[in-house]
Structure 1
Amino acid sequence: MKQKICLISFDNWHYDKYIIKLLQQKNIDAYHINLGGYKHANLASRIVNVFSKIFLGINLKTKKKQEHIISELQKNGQHDIILVINPDVIELKYHQQIKQYTKKYVAYLYDSLDRCPVDHLLNAGLFDQVFSFDEQDAKAHNFVKMNNYIYFDKQEIPTEKPKYKVTTISSFDKRFPIYNKIAYQLEQLKVPFHFIFVSRNIEYKKFKYNFKAETGAKTNGQLLFQSKKIRLKQLLKLYSEAEIILDIVQNNQTGLSFRVFEAMGMQKKLITDNKTVVNYPFYNPNNILIIDRENPVIATEFLTTDYEPVPEEIYNQYTLDNWVTTIFDLKK
């Protein structure tokens, strides 16, 4: 009999569809309950939810999303494993119901507990196993340390130089002043760069930032801003147009973001402020430049050297196949 696995997540970026696809290729009965794809049934439902949030402080859509999980599990019966990614988006009472539908209940955290606390869930003894991408969280709470993964086939190093030297695609958030400062440095160095910032109400946020910023720190004129979300396929295309990917991590994050693995899979160099990257076997100072977020300095010599491929035996540790095999305890 096929093993039955369910993945529950709020998959805004659509990374998780690759997990399901690979499990199915391994002849596993796998499916995904994507809370990010849940929509109001109709306009009336949307209006009711707006009034509920304003006058009662209750988000009915959040409640319906969680009820949707239970409804889907009821249709599919018992499971061998249910994996929930970033379980903080689900209330304890719904987790307790979910657990009834599986032999093994597993959680994976690819946000730090500082950003997405789950103490109320851990204290309830819900999960049979908890994986975390954050080294400090794993040590502090006895989680299994597990990195994110390369979700696509390794890309060839292009024979021709891409049109940009450095690129980044980021939310417009507290990290923006660091990105902006780096943009001014690259401009002075006459290095072509392509920085895109995405957020709702982006023009208002940009105006608010510039209103408060000193003259020399206002948004660099070469930066691009948009409210429309960038899809994963488009993201990889944008990365392909540059030699180096820039990644500034969230405050108090020690885990490696997907940018690290996208850079490795695309065989591109990386600039990051995540100092823990030196502890990983793929770290190569020729490929990865670590900067100080308080005083970011882009070393010109790093911009001029070519990428050095990661040895295959090390690279394979960070593939989706290895991630899936480890998380679901599959036979190699």
Structure 2
Amino acid sequence: MKICVISFDFWNYDAHIVEELRRKGVDAHHINIGAYQHKDLSARVKNTISKIVLQRNLKNELRQEMILDTLKKLGPQDQILVINPELIDMEFHHQIKQCTKRYIAYLYDSLARCPAQHLFSEFDEIFTFDKKDALDHHFKLITNYNYLPEQKSPVQPKYDLVYLGSFDNRISLLSTISAQMEKLNLSYNFVVVGKKSWTKNISFQNQNTILYKRQRVKHEDIPDFYLQGNIVLDLVRDNQTGLSFRIFEAMALKKKIITNNPTIKDYDFYNPENVFILNEEASNIEKSFFDGSYQEIPAEIYEKYTLSSWVETIFSLDL
């Protein structure tokens, strides 16, 4: 079987899908449009002028041409999965679909954040991590996946709470939580990543409570970062009900979670001993939650959220 995954893999999560498929004996390939770079400085300048003068992003067009060129080299595919298909124009979807027997999509952003309704007709099947979108549009609901090996031996944490996320409007809530942690005399390490992080008020940076970085944390370093914390903080984006990758990283690392996503209660792995749900103001953090021990998730439930189970479901594999 030949399967191709197409995505803008900024955080390097999607590459795990292809690795897992290959472990299962599938001839799998990944077209990462996020890895496309301008050939030289002149191409970069040309694209900048085009965006300003013509409102046309040449780099996006070249990324999509790269998809077609790569598929031509790979040959016909049994299945092609596109992750967050709104990043590809309709005309290119038409051409990509001609290269496969089964054309499927996975949405790990909500439609409220990343509209893709105009593309629905292109796909044989659409999966989403967002419960509301699944109900409203009759998509197949599937969570993100646990791609990490299960942590076997405990690691002594340095902090009571850790957080890693992008620079966006969650920062105000993060600041509120840092104040709560200080009132409770608890330690924390919050890292916010993004090109606009330099705009953050310098007084926050001087407090050494929230670290703002332009360069993202390497994907392979994320587990070690979370292992530094007794508990992992999860803050969802606006208009999102799906479970972030933090939930599953914490699951593999056997870390408790504090989250502002109330839908986590709807999943069979939910245990109030492991998961604390914030109120809207994030004012209800309880010190007692930091004192309790992590409760093991039953093996049959844990297995449901592994990457192995995820690829078997998405690609209807019967191995």
TM-score by length of 2: 0.97
Match of 1:135 in 2: 131
Q: Please report how far the alpha carbon of residue 206 of structure 1 lies from its aligned counterpart in structure 2 after TM superposition.
A: 3.4
Is structure 2 residue 13 aligned with structure 1 residue 15?
Answer: yes
Is structure 2 residue 189 aligned with structure 1 residue 189?
Answer: no
Q: Distance in 2 between matches of 1:61 and 1:328?
A: 30
Q: Distance in 1 between matches of 2:276 and 2:153?
A: 19
Q: Distance in 1 between matches of 2:73 and 2:282?
A: 54
Match of 2:38 in 1: 40
Contact 1:183 1:220 in 2 (8 A): no
Q: Please report how far the alpha carbon of residue 218 of structure 1 lies from its aligned counterpart in structure 2 after TM superposition.
A: 9.9
Q: Distance in 2 between matches of 1:274 and 1:104?
A: 33
Matched AA of 1:119: Q
Matched AA of 1:291: L
Question: Which shows bigger deviation, 264-273 or 71-80?
Answer: 71-80
Is structure 2 residue 199 aligned with structure 1 residue 180?
Answer: no
1:296 maps to which of 263, 283, 287: 283
Q: Please report how far the alpha carbon of residue 166 of structure 1 lies from its aligned counterpart in structure 2 after TM superposition.
A: 0.3
Q: Structure 1 vs Structure 2: percent identity of aligned residues?
A: 44
Q: How many residue pairs were aligned? A: 319
Q: Please report how far the alpha carbon of residue 295 of structure 1 lies from its aligned counterpart in structure 2 after TM superposition.
A: 3.9
Contact 1:184 1:220 in 2 (8 A): no
Q: Superposed, which structure 2 residues align to 1:242-257 within 5 Å? A: 242-257=229-244
Matched AA of 2:133: D
Q: Distance in 2 between matches of 1:313 and 1:55?
A: 57
Q: Please report how far the alpha carbon of residue 269 of structure 1 lies from its aligned counterpart in structure 2 after TM superposition.
A: 0.2
Match of 2:269 in 1: 282
Task: Tell me the alpha carbon deviations over residues 235-272 of structure 1, each in whole angstroms, 9 at most, x when there is no partner.
Answer: 11110111100011011211101011011010000000
Q: Please report how far the alpha carbon of residue 182 of structure 1 lies from its aligned counterpart in structure 2 after TM superposition.
A: 0.6
Contact 1:178 1:296 in 2 (8 A): no
Is structure 2 residue 104 aligned with structure 1 residue 109?
Answer: no
Determine helix, strand or coil for the equivalent of 1:57. coil
Q: Distance in 2 between matches of 1:60 and 1:233?
A: 31
Determine helix, strand or coil for the equivalent of 1:201. helix
Q: Distance in 1 between matches of 2:175 and 2:222?
A: 20
TM-score by length of 1: 0.93
1:89 maps to which of 84, 87, 90: 87
Extract unaligned runs of 5+ from structure 1.
211-216
Extract unaligned runs of 5+ from structure 2.
none
Determine helix, strand or coil for the equivalent of 1:113. coil
Q: Distance in 2 between matches of 1:142 and 1:296?
A: 36
Contact 1:150 1:261 in 2 (8 A): yes
Match of 1:169 in 2: 164
Task: Tell me the alpha carbon deviations over residues 30-84 of structure 1, each in whole angstroms, 9 at most, x when there is no partner.
Answer: 0000011111111111111111111111110000000110111111121100000
Change (3 A) 1:219 1:261: farther
Task: Tell me the alpha carbon deviations over residues 267-326 of structure 1, each in whole angstroms, 9 at most, x when there is no partner.
Answer: 000000110100101000000000113343211111110101101000000000000000
Question: Which shows bigger deviation, 149-158 or 3-12?
Answer: 149-158
